[in-house]
Amino acid sequence: MNKTLLGYVPKESPIYFIHPFVKLYFLLVVSLFPMFITQPEVNLFIMAVILLLMIWSRVDLRILRIYVPVAIAMGWIILLSYTVLGGTHPEFELLAKVLGIKIYWERLRDGVVVYCRILPMIATMVFFLTTSRERDVIVAMRSVRIPFVVTYVFAMALRSSGMVLEDFQIVRQAEQARGFDTTGKSLGYKIRKYVMYMIPLFALSLRRTEEFTNALVARGYAFTGEAAKVKRADYILTHYSFKLHDGILVALISILFIIILTLRYGYNAFSLDSSLLINWLYQILR
Amino acid sequence: MVHLIEIENYSWQYLNTPQEALKNINLKIEQGSFVGIIGPNGAGKTTLAYSMDGLIPGQYRGLKHGVVKIRGIEVEEYPRGRLQQMVGMVFSDPEAQFTAMTVEDELVFGMENLGMSLPEIRERLEWVTELTELKHLLLKPPYEISGGQKQRVALAAVLAMTPEVLILDEPTSMLDPVSRKRVFEVLQKLKQSQNTVIVIEHSLENLIPLADRMILLADGEIALDAETGEFFQRLDLLLEKGISPPGAMRFFYELTQKNLYHGRLPLTVDEAAALLRGAA
Amino acid sequence: MNTQTPFIRVSNLNYQYPDGTHALWDINLEIYEGEFIAFIGQNGSGKTTLSKCLNGLFKPTSGDVIVEDLNSKTSSIVQMVRRVGYVFQNPDHQLFNNNCWDEIAYGPRNIQLPEEQVKERVEEAAQVVGLPERYFSEHPFFLSKGLRQRVAIASILALRPKLIIVDEPTTGQDARQSFEIMDFLKDLNENHGHIIVIITHDMPIVAAYARRVVAMGQGRILADGPTAEVFKQTELLAQTFLEPPQITQLAQRVQDLGYDPGTLTVESMVAQHIALRARRDNP
């Protein structure tokens, strides 16, 4: 199994045949689709497609288990903020009054729409993170000629976050070894005390910064000045070549995007009035 | 004659510190030599190493007296990047040196910084992974390899830049004995191909068989600078300055103190065992 | 020693990390009062994992770790740390209070001791580690490495655990500093009644200070016994990529001449040499 940013992918997987740039492009463009689609069923369909893509890439789906409670919690939060906290709107249709709180149809409907928009956007993000290794992100950026400084800072951020996570584990254990126990305490207590962890993490990072900088200098790297203007050979790009299927995929994604925009603005497709799901929901709740 | 490294009457005091970290350093190092620098913590070994690489005064503020020249040119006068290519430096913390997200990227980083071309990079990469036995680790990210492997990567990454001299500052202090041995194995190969290597170490057992010359640094000054065999005949001075010699050597030293032995102190277990057999 | 009840009894301990790696296999171990033990083994052999099971940081996947009367599976961290202390290798991983006093007081406060007792413990611990009073109000971050290590140890001592585990006490230290910290641990063991367990690769230090050695490899105990006995088992040590200290290696190389293959110190080697010469000169 190869570890990706957010999960694991087996050593044999079709996803490796795709150029990292395509993956990044997919993330950036497809996550915009829901912005132009109001019909929840279409958005849910997009999410289903992405899940299928994850299965096709042979991602270890157990990682999704973590996201189910998150998705559910998020759903409730959206629902509540759109209904209970929605306020009084006499222009809307009142569905029910629960404990003095007015539940309006329009608000409920909007909540459902927003939720169904967010789901595929998050799914695209998760798909990207579970199928990309750190190196893929960097290759994707370099292949579109983003300045090296930017990609390098990004790479360093990835590297440091990895180190910070490792440190965090040890710091947690060190505190426990001195009797620090959060079992059974309130959430507020936990949050207050977790701030403590930041201090050793900062101290460790600070100490490491000096060595890290020295290492960079010793490798001849400079962020500015003459030395920074050197023409880089970009060796790692030599491992990745943009193939025909990559080009086709990029074209496909782009065409899809244009189609969606055309349908939306030219033909007023994906609107709420023609949404089967919304209409069905309305019937039930009335 | 232009020495590879020439340090004359050099002293350095870090900003806001009460005393000089290094004083009266006079040192000449020639191409092809393998030098070991030892001394208690705080003696100034790292300061000396950084001075030879331009990190001091480049990255640190302080007061400098005297001259540090690499190939006849003072360290401050080198254009940025040029000195770092000539003097390769390996630090002691394997974590802090790994700046990229895969081993291969790490190895190639320095070469790209120098503007080497793709064919040059490929060639050096091949050579360096062969030398340090890293072929099977090339695509691995830092969190999947051990500290010892990371140090070999650091060593390889620096070697890939074709430095004229390699300085290693306590490269194995954070490693377990196995990883330590593997790092020294690479150093041995380098010695055989007559690279110029300067190693700062506490692990004398591994260092002694490789070093032609040893320098003792204590309280910021060079207390002893001699060819290895001669160096360890002055064990009394080494002990006084807080150096703990390897067991076999210490044993013969104690015998000498008791007038039971009058020869040269053995540098390795092999030599010591041979001496005991010879005497039996 | 075997007639007493052990301070810690480990039975059939198995430990698996959350990601599935099986780190410890069927560990059986007993630790008694007054012992000074070294856990040795290559990186990944399980010595650190085992130590963290001993103080309850890790709960066994199966098997038991019983400390006095407490079973680590059913006891809280707070109960365990009063008996087993763990000093981490890098003091920076644990120091976070604004001054040394609060740092050392942190442990006692966590176990809910009244403030006068906390004061007593802090003063006692500071005295044992030799931390001068003038450092009490200093921020630990700015102290030297050696002082930070002492503050870290003091903060564990303040909990008054009977058993203290120290992770890599001599890594990165020079000879004098190594002896200082080890002599200090020896003092804790001989004069203050603590059981000391050190996790280390430093074989000469093990030879000089540890009376018992537990050698681990691939999650199992390969050898467990008095230091000299374990050091004689060179093939076993080689399995976990370890070598005995140089003086022991020398003795082993010339054991056919009469030297003890379990020699641990230069002094002992010298004494043997003198005795052997005497015997040779006066047959």
Task: Tell me the average pLDDT of chain A.
Answer: 82
Q: Which of B125, B142, B161 minimises the CB distance to A220?
A: B161
- Amino acid C239: pLDDT: 84
Position B207 pLDDT exceeds 90: yes
Compute the C-alpha angle C97/C101/C107, nearest 5°.
Answer: 70
Position B36 pLDDT exceeds 60: yes
**pLDDT average, residue stretch C198-214:** 94
Same domain, C187 and C278: no
Answer whether B207 touches C (CB < 8 Å): no
Partners for A (CB, 8 Å, 3+ pairs)?
B, C
- Amino acid B280: pLDDT: 66
Q: Which of B174, B243, B273 minimises the CB distance to C250?
A: B273
- Amino acid B64: pLDDT: 94
Position C1 pLDDT exceeds 60: no
Name the 3-class secondary structure at B10: strand
Whole-number Å distance between alpha carbons of B174 and B92? 7
Position A224 pLDDT exceeds 70: no
- Amino acid C274: pLDDT: 92
Q: Which domain holds residue C19?
A: 8-230
Q: Give the minimum alpha-carbon distance from B32 to chain C in angstroms, rounded to a whole number.
A: 28
Instruction: Please judge whether C86 and A177 are an interchain contact, meaning their C-beta atoms are less than 8 angstroms apart.
Output: yes
**pLDDT average, residue stretch C124-133:** 87
Lowest mean pLDDT among A105-114, C27-36, C182-191: A105-114
Rg from Cα positions in chain C: 20
Q: Which residue of A has its CA nearest to C79?
A: A179
Hey, how many other C-beta atoms are within 10 angstroms of the C-beta on C265? 17
pTM over 0.90, yes/no: no
Answer whether B277 touches C (CB < 8 Å): yes
Give the DSSP per-residue string, A169-193: HHHHHHHHTTT---TT--HHHHHHH
**Band of the pLDDT at C3, cuts 50, 70, 90?**
low
**pLDDT average, residue stretch B229-255:** 92
pLDDT tens digits for A18-53?
A: 888 899 899 989 989 988 888 888 888 999 999 899
Instruction: Please judge whether B242 and C174 are an interchain contact, meaning their C-beta atoms are less than 8 angstroms apart.
Output: yes
Give the CATH number of the domain where residue C123 resides: 3.40.50.300
Residue matched to tokens 């070093």: B211
- Amino acid B91: pLDDT: 92
- Amino acid B219: pLDDT: 93
- Amino acid C173: pLDDT: 84
Partners for B (CB, 8 Å, 3+ pairs)?
A, C
Q: Which of C43, C174, C204 minimises the CB distance to B176?
A: C43
Whole-number Å distance between alpha carbons of B138 and B135? 6
Q: Which of C88, C96, C110 minimises the CB distance to A179?
A: C110
Same domain, C86 and C164: yes
Give the DSSP per-residue string, C176-187: HHHHHHHHHHHH
**Band of the pLDDT at A210, cuts 50, 70, 90?**
confident
Same domain, C194 and C81: yes
- Amino acid C238: pLDDT: 86
Chain A to chain C Cβ contacts (< 8 Å): 64
- Amino acid B80: pLDDT: 75
Q: Give the minimum alpha-carbon distance from B74 to chain A in angstroms, rounded to a whole number.
A: 17
- Amino acid B87: pLDDT: 93
| Residue C65 within a domain | yes
**Band of the pLDDT at B250, cuts 50, 70, 90?**
very high
Instruction: Please judge whether C110 and A204 are an interchain contact, meaning their C-beta atoms are less than 8 angstroms apart.
Output: no
The residue among C264 and C44 whose pLDDT is bigger is: C264
Find chain C residues with C-beta within 8 A of B169's C-beta.
Answer: none
Q: What are phi and psi of A97, to 5 degrees?
A: -125, 110
Q: Give the minimum alpha-carbon distance from A156 to chain B in angstroms, rounded to a whole number.
A: 6
Confirm if B6 and B53 have CB atoms less than 8 A apart. no
Instruction: Please judge whether B84 and A133 are an interchain contact, meaning their C-beta atoms are less than 8 angstroms apart.
Output: no
Strand ordering across the sheet containing C8-16: C22-31, C8-16, C62-67, C70-71
Q: Where are the domains of chain A?
A: 2-139+243-285, 147-239
Residue-wise over C129-161: b if at least 16 C-beta within 10 A, else e?
Answer: bebeeebbebebbebeeebbbbbbbbbbbbbbb
Same domain, C55 and C126: yes
Question: For C107-142, what is the HEC assignment?
Answer: HHHHCCCCHHHHHHHHHHHHHHHCCCHHHCCCCHHH
- Amino acid A239: pLDDT: 79
- Amino acid A99: pLDDT: 74
- A231's enclosing H/E stretch is none
**pLDDT average, residue stretch A137-159:** 83
Instruction: Please judge whether C42 and B178 are an interchain contact, meaning their C-beta atoms are less than 8 angstroms apart.
Output: yes
- Amino acid C2: pLDDT: 56
Same domain, C32 and C147: yes
**Band of the pLDDT at C28, cuts 50, 70, 90?**
very high
Whole-number Å distance between alpha carbons of A113 and A39? 7
The residue among A180 and C48 whose pLDDT is bigger is: C48
**pLDDT average, residue stretch A56-84:** 81
Instruction: Please judge whether C249 and B41 are an interchain contact, meaning their C-beta atoms are less than 8 angstroms apart.
Output: no
**Which candidate, A112, A135, A186, A140, places its Cα nearest to that of A26?**
A140
Lowest mean pLDDT among A137-151, B52-66, C171-185: A137-151
Position A225 pLDDT exceeds 70: no
Q: Which of C78, C94, C106 minimises the CB distance to A200?
A: C94
Partners for C (CB, 8 Å, 3+ pairs)?
A, B
- Amino acid C78: pLDDT: 82
Q: Which residue of B has its CA nearest to C281?
A: B280
Q: What would the CATH number be for the domain defined by B5-228?
A: 3.40.50.300
Whole-number Å distance between alpha carbons of C173 and A123? 50
**pLDDT average, residue stretch A173-194:** 78
- Amino acid C116: pLDDT: 92
Domain total in chain C: 2
**pLDDT average, residue stretch A89-108:** 75
- A246's enclosing H/E stretch is helix A244-267
Q: Which residue of C has its CA nearest to B254?
A: C270
pLDDT tens digits for B70-119?
A: 999 999 998 877 888 899 999 988 888 888 888 998 999 888 888 888 89
Chain A to chain B Cβ contacts (< 8 Å): 120
- Amino acid A227: pLDDT: 58
Same domain, C256 and C226: no
Q: Give the minimum alpha-carbon distance from C250 to chain B in angstroms, rounded to a whole number.
A: 6
Whole-number Å distance between alpha carbons of B241 and B218? 7
Indicate the Cα dihedral angle B71, B77, B78, B81, nearest 10°. Answer: 150
Position A150 pLDDT exceeds 70: yes
Answer whether C268 touches B (CB < 8 Å): no
- Amino acid B269: pLDDT: 93
Find chain C residues with C-beta within 8 A of B147's C-beta.
Answer: 43
Beta-ladder partners of B8: B67
The residue among B212 and C111 whose pLDDT is bigger is: B212
Instruction: For chain B, positions 17-36, list CB contacts with chain C under 8 A.
Output: none
Percent pLDDT > 90 in chain C is 56
